[in-house]
Amino acid sequence: MPLPHLSIQVINFAATDPGNWQVLSDHAVAADRVGVDRLAVSDHVVFGEDLADYANPAKGGTVGGRQPTGPDGLWLEPLTTLTWLAAQTTRIRLQTGILLAALRRPVVLAKTTATLDVLSGGRLDLGVGVGWQAAEYEAAGLDFSGRGPLLDQTLEVCQALWNEPRASYSGDGLSFDAVHAMPKPVSGSVPIWVSGTVNRRTARRLARFGMGWIPWGEDRADVAGGITRMHSLLGEMGLEHDGFEVQGPVRMVQDSDGALDLESTMAGISDLVESGVTDCRLALRLSPEPEEAADLLGHAVEAFRSAVGRDA
């Protein structure tokens, strides 16, 4: 199991037009400079006008959740955004958290992700999930009720094109034979992180494709319990996958004045790691001033490394 690492999400969306996206770039560059291990960006392609399903677990939402921008929010496409950020950073890993991968044609997604991985020096992590909004699938001409099999097919095709010098595929509504897709990802394949709750579909997808798991819903709120439940379900299904990584949220602690108590926040890291979390997601409110953001991130990295016994 790898050493625990620290990740953040940089915000590639806005409720209203910010004028420019320099703050997004500044936060990514600062995180790269001070030693944050991974940054993630999110994904939406379009919105319908009824966003209530964000709070409906039966549709893929989460209890009490609220879509953060409304239907006219501005959302930057994540792979394009990560390409922009890759050109401005040198070492930090770049993650889609998550990409609605089934909305993209699989052969084009395989090419796009391999290209980004190569141009970034092998720094891409592909976080994927099925999402919660039927309107996005309908706008792409896809059946929302079939989003799980669509995602599986997308990942099958990507792995075939990433891994095989002469790739062939035969599946539901899609087949090809003896095609060549170059360049390949730097390490031979792009690491896949599967998002979802503990259920048989997610477990099967994780065992088949996933280097890591991004818990969702109640399994994210209780990540230690979620990890236990996922291992139990994998065992029940006869799926061997003991080595998968897990993203888990760090519980943010505030002092009596409502400011971040970094020391108390980091005190909870050891229990998070002990439960099986390898990617500790820190939800910091970063200043739009680059040096202030870098200062807070730097202190967070230093405190995190001390908490988990890492030198660098």
Q: How far apart are CA 214 and CA 202, in angstroms?
A: 10
Q: How far apart are CA 212 and CA 150, in angstroms?
A: 20
Quickly count: other Cβ atoms within 10 Å of residue 274's Cβ.
Answer: 9
> What is residue 311's predicted lDDT score, i.e. its pLDDT?
79
Strand residue runs (E) in the chain: 5-9, 13-14, 38-41, 74-75, 93-99, 124-128, 167-171, 174-179, 192-196, 212-215, 245-249, 279-281
Closest residue by Cα to residue 227 from 7, 241, 167:
241
> What is residue 62's predicted lDDT score, i.e. its pLDDT?
87
Tokens of 155: 């990942």
Tokens of 47: 């919105």
Q: Structural domain of residue 296, as residue ranges?
A: 5-308
Q: How far apart are CA 281 and CA 38, in angstroms?
A: 9
Q: How far apart are CA 211 and CA 207, in angstroms?
A: 8
> What is residue 293's predicted lDDT score, i.e. its pLDDT?
97
Number of domains in the chain: 1
For residue 130, give the CATH number of its domain. 3.20.20.30
> What is residue 69's predicted lDDT score, i.e. its pLDDT?
95
> What is residue 310's predicted lDDT score, i.e. its pLDDT?
84
> What is residue 88's predicted lDDT score, i.e. its pLDDT?
98
> What is residue 184's predicted lDDT score, i.e. its pLDDT?
98
> What is residue 1's predicted lDDT score, i.e. its pLDDT?
66
Run means of pLDDT, 10 residues per run, the chain, 312 residues: 91 96 98 98 96 89 90 97 98 98 98 98 98 96 97 98 97 96 97 98 97 96 97 94 92 89 94 96 96 97 93 76
CB-CB contact of 83 with 119 (8 Å): yes
pTM for the complete prediction?
0.95
> What is residue 113's predicted lDDT score, i.e. its pLDDT?
98
